[in-house]
Structure 1
């Protein structure tokens, strides 16, 4: 085994640069896709101008809530500058928060609080206006609820002396902690559906698909080792052909594990994408075994490349398309990435692949006997 590892090390050392590129390519693909996605999202936000005739807590809260939406990029500026940029079509629309906005809100008045300006190219003015109206309705509703609570407190001679701001702050806290506006219903005994929207831009999902494809590509040396003019040398070696192949798979597995450790550190620091080391380890073992068994099926490298790309596309479709009924549950069993994407250990596919490798080893030992 020592001689085999040394021989493979000489080959890896000779191809060290290209091999490093292949090993870290999934990480580079992940960073590139996330960077492009964030850039596109920023480009598709609607720029609007916000003019504050008075800077109060309520007016600044409205500005911050608008700016936190994925649709809008709000910028505070003077009215003159905002209207000038609107004329140049640099802004989609301009909204002026008039003086007395906070006092009007505290009185429950929603009329004439803002002024809106738009041009003939303002395609998102109505959408932003409706968003602002909904925010105003929410704020006035909180104020009305606070006044009702205070009146009840006075009528019942309660010991608590709450102000309007304290009641509003408490209502916001309850809305955040209790999640009053978002609920998930299910029948008794039915498992809760997974929130796929949260993992649509999950760095580990992008990395998982790309690393599976790259792992298959890296294992193309197995097909080259089976060529007749190369395989003839195994007749003069002390180690059998299947043992030689598995020893070399072990070498590449070690290289992949080192790369995965670096990937875990980078994604954790850059995107806050934490992952269990055991989950990552079982996934890497499974993917290497899957790639090994997949490559052993093919005799032509180029056909193997085409089949691998096609398979990955099918897996992406299985993982992201909302299938009808229980079809998605059944198809998830055919997806070796499903457990990893759910944050679980990839045990089932690992056992299946391990059995497949044992069968392959016994068959090759018999053929080379």
Structure 2
């Protein structure tokens, strides 16, 4: 497996995503002179995974500084970002220097935001260490931090110099984290690539193992979906919004639960909600709604949510980035591979979709 050639997936003409085994060794290929200093941002728990990256950078003659951040949504705060800015300032980082993120989606979001805002933009390379980060957070140039009012409300678009998706690191993931990451893979299937759904349906147990037969193809297909979208619409004028399928409700779930639930689990619930909303708006057929539950459930992802919390969730959804004034906007499907925008849905549809996924006592 380790001898198979890496795949290179271009994101337009801006940068490449390299997918394969052992590809984190390529980090120096993405940091050409005049880079002289690099800040490696990683959680304490990933010192071991970051060590080969740090060694490779130092062997190339670069001065490397390491910064430890939380391995949770707690990393994405103004306080943590300010600490990293202070490090960059103390070490006199210039515009020709760079940041390297080694970690999951919270780390790539944070490090990308710090790189985007330091001197109005320095280079950043992402070495994602979770499935979720590989197929979603590390690709596309979205960066951000959270506030008490919501997730990712402060951020910017800042494309990386490159992304290195080393499939070997998936072996280090807890099974629950691997499965949670598959939610974003399934999302790519529903919005653009039905072959993803077919691969999961044919071998759900293999899809849920880091070394399962379909995993590499699933990862590459999901990345290609995102790469094609963001290459056409970096700043989310409309097309890129399709990547938020399931996220309006999913982000609300995360917020009302204090970010204690895994992002992928929340997105799985959010996609089921969006499917029910699509059904109620007359856009989506029942069989596709049922397919959501079948595909997600076969992987062990949740498709229901506790009842009695609709008002809290609605308040959180009104703060979603896609909202315009008091107008709620969702991405729903007309069919597999046919996402559309739903603006100002009827309150009865919103509540009915929630009732359809609510757990019964």
Do the structures match in fold with TM over 0.5? no
The structure that is strand-richer by fraction is 2
TM-score after normalising by structure 1: 0.21
The structure that is helix-richer by fraction is 1
TM-score after normalising by structure 2: 0.21
**Bigger-Rg structure (1/2):** 1
